[in-house]
Amino acid sequence: MTSYVIKNGHVINPASNTSEPLDVLIAGDKVVKIGHNLKGDVVINAEGHVVSPGLVDIHCHFREPGGESKETIATGSLAAAAGGFTTVVTMANTNPVIDNAGLVELVIRRAREEACIHVLPAACATKGLIGNEITEMADLKKAGAVAVTDDGQDVASSALMLRALEYANMVGMPFLSHCEDESLAEGGAMNEGYTATLMGIPGIPKAAEEIRIDRNIRLAELAKAHLHIQHVSTAAGVEIIRQAKKRGARVTAESAPHYFSLTDEAVQGFNTNAKMNPPLREKEDREAIIKGFQDGTLDCIATDHAPHTATEKRVEFGLAPFGIIGLETSLALTITELVRPGHITIEDAVHLLSWGGAQICRLNSGNLYEGGPADITIFDPEMQWTIDSNDFASKSRNSPFIGRSVYGKVSYTFCGGKIVYPELPF
Amino acid sequence: MKTEPLLRWTKKDLIGIRELSRSEIEIILDLTPKFLSVSERASGIKKVPLLQGRLVVNWFHEPSTRTRTSFELAAKRLSADILSITASSLSTVKGETLHDTLANIEAMNTDILVLRHSGAGVPHILAKDHASHIINAGDGRHEHPTQALLDAFTMREEMRRLYNDPNRGLDGIKVALVGDIQHSRVARSNIHALTKLGADVTVCGPATLLPRGIEGFGVKVTTDLGEALENVDVIYALRIQMERQGKALFPSVGEYVRLFRIDRDALCYAPDHAIVMHPGPINRDLELSTEVADGPRSVILKQVTNGVAVRMAVMHVLANAGSSKEL
């Protein structure tokens, strides 16, 4: 068994509050030792690099089954590895949707066959993702689902949402919640406001998201369930979560790099790669998201990696599908937009990108400890590079960040003790 | 005619008024009278050979009679060859993409493409990737630049006549746009053009038809028709799109009429010299009473006449920019 020793790096492990120069010894699929002057068969020189737990993204769309022209479990996991992620939670809005144990098993089997990282499925909270009946959550969990979600849409009926939360709580799974009032959002394609009016594009008001964040939290409090709010995009949304946490609600929340890096002005020029749901908001929302990360209201960064083909996106703005890819740009945007301007520390960034999300879905990931899984990301936080669509490992190219100069690049990703990025020629 | 305007024009396309400078708008407005005179020639030969041998394609992806025929006539008076494609004859209904349809139209060596589309931004995205001159003839709620140019020209002519000043511009004149601002590309393009030309613009309509953020355009916003019409020089009634009433954006036609219709009672709020405009087609007695539409203050048919001349000026400028062609 070949052992690797990662030397001269700066280990950051938020779960143990570690941030110091240390060596890491890996043998097989385990971390054997974290300490000084370690020796192994193969030396990885991590000078100038951060050595962190493999990053965790609890919100991605790998499109398999049914959307393989956009992404597959194989290509999605390569994109994840290139971005430093070793564990991802995939959403259930595939075709067919993941609403029974057989389909959970399918995703898990495909991941075992094809994926170079850990791909963990979330399953539907309601059958067929249509909000009429709750799914067999105990069976889904037994098959390997790590969470329930109707991501892509909200559960319209408050009564059914309450039952789904009560049941998810009973089986011990978090509910990953896409908050959106469909009647307010219907027909909209970007944030409602000055820019939308200027461009003549129907808007989605912030209230469409905020009133459902509030409703879903109140239902979770009633059910005493763990509710996780996905892709928070507005200032009032952050504030509602902050107040709920203060009164002790079991609520966690994520936001995505695009919400702290961009505003709705990125849509100018009818850029369909800046179209996602919830939509890019305004300056004050972007600032509130950053504050939410600073004070712990927002628990993790998730990408909402949502691949679409170039042909699907190269249409009129109103008809283009919602969503952008994010796995390969998330770490760099976090460093460039949050760490370098001094909003958060590099330790906070690693926390938000690994241990934060792992705790929400109760995963054995995002934590670097002796005897733990050898899922490790080695990145140079100072390295400057330009995001180039030709370099994406993802099958899709729908990123609004193409051409942007950023800081922070992954040099190696280890998953289960193997180097999964860069792809080695042997 | 001086060659100067053609040398000052640098844009390949006319996508929106927002992208134009005041002086670019004025290039078009200043050229328009010459083209107007072509249509009024005593000889009866209403043609000039400025686009002879050029191909103009009218691609209308949304129903339109007025704008399409106005462009068609403009192209014919410039001696261009003209081809009209309407939504029903389009292969997009057969699943062809926009870019592919345009590539096919271009493969026929099209010089100017006049495009009407229900999707905001379609002319913009196509203009970026294709070589022909694209004229936006209306895209969703976004822009309708030739309408705004013909409206600005009409207002300028009327104000020049009123104030007996052949050099008067629109600086300081007061314009009220009344009706459905939310869904109106005409309102957006007019606001851009009028504010750039120095006019003072007020928008007025039911609260449910005023888009959020409209104040950011530099206009006054009110839901009170009396307030909107006070001291105005121009009353511009917008079309109420009855097809949108499925969304119940106001409670009834009756209530709309009582609060926002431009009729004899509404005109009492405005000074006697105020003119009345409408982009057409009119819903008679809904946004505009028949009495006012056909009355002495209406310049609606002048708008239509001016429309052809403005569109001739636009095509001429786009196709001959940088050259020294004279009229």
Q: Tell me the pLDDT tens digit for each residue of B55-76.
A: 999 999 888 889 999 999 999 9
Between CA A345 and CA A348, with CA A347 as vertex, the angle to 5 degrees is 65
Min CA distance, A126 vs chain B (Å)?
29
Task: Look at the block and give the residue holding tokens 């396309």.
Answer: B13
DSSP, collapsed to helix, strand or coil, labels residue B34 as: helix
Residue A79 belongs to a domain? yes
Averaged over A73-83, what is the pLDDT?
A: 98
B1 pLDDT above the threshold of 50: no
* A219 CB-near residues (< 8 Å, 6+ apart): A158, A161, A162, A165, A227
CB contact under 8 A, A201 and B213: no
Condensed to tens digits (0 to 9), the pLDDT of residues A366-384 reads 999 999 999 999 999 999 9
- Residue range of the domain that includes A242: 54-366
Q: Residue A262 falls within a domain, yes or no?
A: yes
**Is A319 an interface residue toward B (CB < 8 Å)?**
yes
Averaged pLDDT, B43-52: 92
A57 carries an active-site annotation: no
The per-residue pLDDT of chain A, averaged, comes to 97
Cis amide prior to B206 (ω within 30 degrees): no
CA distance B137 to B150: 12
Q: Kindly state whether residue A49 falls inside one of the protein's structural domains.
A: no
pLDDT of residue B89: 55
Which secondary structure element, helix H or strand E, spans residue B99, and what is its range?
A: helix B98-106
Q: How far apart are CA B44 and CA B40, in angstroms?
A: 8
For the packed helices B145-162 and B300-320, what is the interaxial angle rounded to 10 degrees?
A: 120
Q: Inform me whether the C-beta atom of residue B180 falls under 8 Å from chain A C-beta atoms.
A: no
Residue A404 lies in a domain: no
Quote the pLDDT of residue B140: 95
Contact residues, B window 112-151, toward A, CB-based 8 Å cutoff: 117, 119-122, 124-125, 139-143
Element (H, E) at A26: strand A23-27
Statement: the pTM of the whole predicted model exceeds 0.80: yes
CATH, residue A131: 3.20.20.140
The single-letter code of the amino acid at A98 is: I
DSSP readout, A188-200?
Answer: --EESSHHHHHHT
- R_g of chain B computed on alpha carbons: 20
Q: Kindly indicate the confidence band of residue A38, based on its pLDDT and cuts at 50, 70 and 90.
A: very high
Residue among B270, B263, B258, B265 nearest B292 (CA)? B263
Report the pLDDT value the prediction gives residue A278, as an integer from 0 to 100: 98
- Report the distance separating Cα B17 and Cα A198, nearest Å: 11
- Say how far apart CA A75 and CA A402 lie, in whole Å: 19
Q: What is the pLDDT of residue B245?
A: 59
Residue type at A243? Q
Interatomic CA distance for residues A338 and A300, integer angstroms = 13
Query: Tokens 């954006």 correspond to what residue?
Result: B249
| Tokens of residue A333, six digits | 């945007």
Q: A197 to chain B: which residues are within 8 Å by CB?
A: 188, 211-214, 216-217
Q: Give which of B116, B125, B182, B189 to mutate to test A binding, by max A Cβ within 10 Å.
A: B125
B246 CB contacts (<8 Å, ≥6 apart)?
none
Q: Examine the pLDDT at B81 and tell me if it is beyond 90.
A: yes
CB atoms within 10 A of CB B25: 22
Q: Number of Cβ pairs closer than 8 Å across A and B?
A: 70
Q: Give the closest of B99, B119, B143 to A314, CB-based.
A: B99
Q: How far apart are CA A108 and CA A94, in angstroms?
A: 14
Q: Provide the residue ranges of all domains of chain B, joining segments of one domain with +.
A: 4-141+306-320, 145-304
Report the candidate in B114, B115, B59, B127 with the shortest Cα–Cα distance to residue B88: B59
Looking at the complex, report in whole angstroms how far the Cα of residue A274 sits from the nearest Cα belonging to chain B.
Answer: 14
Give the nearest chain B residue to A195 (CA atoms): B213
**Tokens, residue B185:** 């590309």
Would the CB atoms of A318 and B139 count as touching at under 8 Å? no
In a domain, A415, yes or no: no
Say if A426 falls within a structural domain: no
Q: How many angstroms from the chain centroid is the CA of residue B6?
A: 21
3-state DSSP assignment of residue A384: strand
Closest-CA residue in chain A for B139? A200
pLDDT in tens, B268-327: 999 999 999 999 999 999 999 999 999 999 999 999 999 999 999 999 999 988 776 666
Amino acid at A291: K
SS3 content of chain B, % helix, strand, coil (to 5): 45, 15, 40
Residue A389 Cα to chain centre, angstroms: 20
Residue A34 counted as domain residue: no
Q: How confident is the model at residue B92 (pLDDT cuts 50, 70, 90)?
A: low
Q: Would you say residue A318 lies in a domain? A: yes
Distance CA B295, CA A367 (A): 79
Contact B167, B122 (CB under 8 A): no
**Do residue B211 and residue A197 have CB atoms under 8 angstroms apart?**
yes
Across the range A142-153, mean pLDDT stands at 98
Q: Could you report the per-residue pLDDT of B139-186, keeping only the tens digit for each?
A: 999 999 999 999 999 999 999 999 999 999 999 999 999 999 999 999
> Which pLDDT tens digit goes with each residue over A196-242?
999 999 999 999 999 999 999 999 999 999 999 999 999 999 999 99
Q: Closest to B213 (Cβ–Cβ): which among A197, A314, A318?
A: A197
- pLDDT, mean over chain B: 92
**Which of B18, B188, B216 shows the shortest C-beta gap to A194?**
B216
- List CB contacts of B93: < 8 A, sequence separation 6 or more: B87
Find the range with the poorest average confidence among A11-15, A141-145, B318-322.
B318-322
Chain B's closest residue to A186, CA to CA, is B247
Number of neighbouring beta carbons within 10 Å of residue B272? 6
SS percent in chain A: helix, strand, coil, step 5: 35, 25, 40
- CA-based nearest distance A189→chain B, Å: 11
| Integer angstrom CA distances of residue B119 from A201, B131, B140 | 9, 21, 5
- Name B287's Cβ contacts closer than 8 Å, sequence gap at least 6: B178, B179, B237, B238, B239, B240, B256, B260, B261, B262, B278
Residue range B145-304, CATH number: 3.40.50.1370
Helices (H), A354-418: 355-360
Q: What distance in Å separates the CA atoms of residue B220 and residue B228, rounded to the nearest whole number? A: 9
The pairing of beta strand B275-277 with beta strand B234-237: parallel
Q: Is residue B208 pLDDT above 60, yes or no?
A: yes
Of A300, A366, A364, A362, nearest to A168 by C-alpha is A362
What Å distances lie between residue A60 and A140, A253, B58, CA to CA?
19, 15, 44
ipTM of the complex: 0.92
Chain A residues whose beta carbon lies within 8 Å of the beta carbon of residue B185 = 200
Decide if pLDDT at A324 tops 50.
Answer: yes
Chain A residues with CB under 8 Å of B143 CB are 200
pLDDT tens for residues A241-253? 999 999 999 999 9
pLDDT at B99 over 50: yes
Helices B145-162 + B66-77 axis angle, to 10: 80
Comparing B4-141+306-320 with B145-304, is the CATH topology the same?
Answer: yes
Instruction: Select from 3.30.420.40, 3.90.730.10, 3.40.1160.10, 3.40.50.1370 the CATH code of B4-141+306-320.
Output: 3.40.50.1370
A317 chain-B contacts, CB cut-off 8 A: 119-121, 125
Q: Which of A99, A151, A299, A304 is catalytic?
A: A304
- Number of domains comprising chain A: 1
* Average pLDDT over every residue of A180-190: 97
B185 inside 8 A of chain A by CB: yes
Cis before B5? omega within 30: no
Average pLDDT value for residue range A66-78: 98
Give the DSSP per-residue string, B133-199.
Answer: EEEEEEETTTB-HHHHHHHHHHHHHHHHHHTT-TT--STT-EEEEES--TT-HHHHHHHHHHHHTT-
Torsion sign, CA atoms A27, A29, A30, A31: positive
Taking only residues 192 to 211 of chain B, the set having a beta carbon closer than 8 angstroms to any beta carbon of chain A reads 211
**Taking CB atoms and an 8 Å limit, are A192 and B122 in contact across chains?**
no
C-beta of residue A400 within 8 angstroms of C-beta of residue A263: no
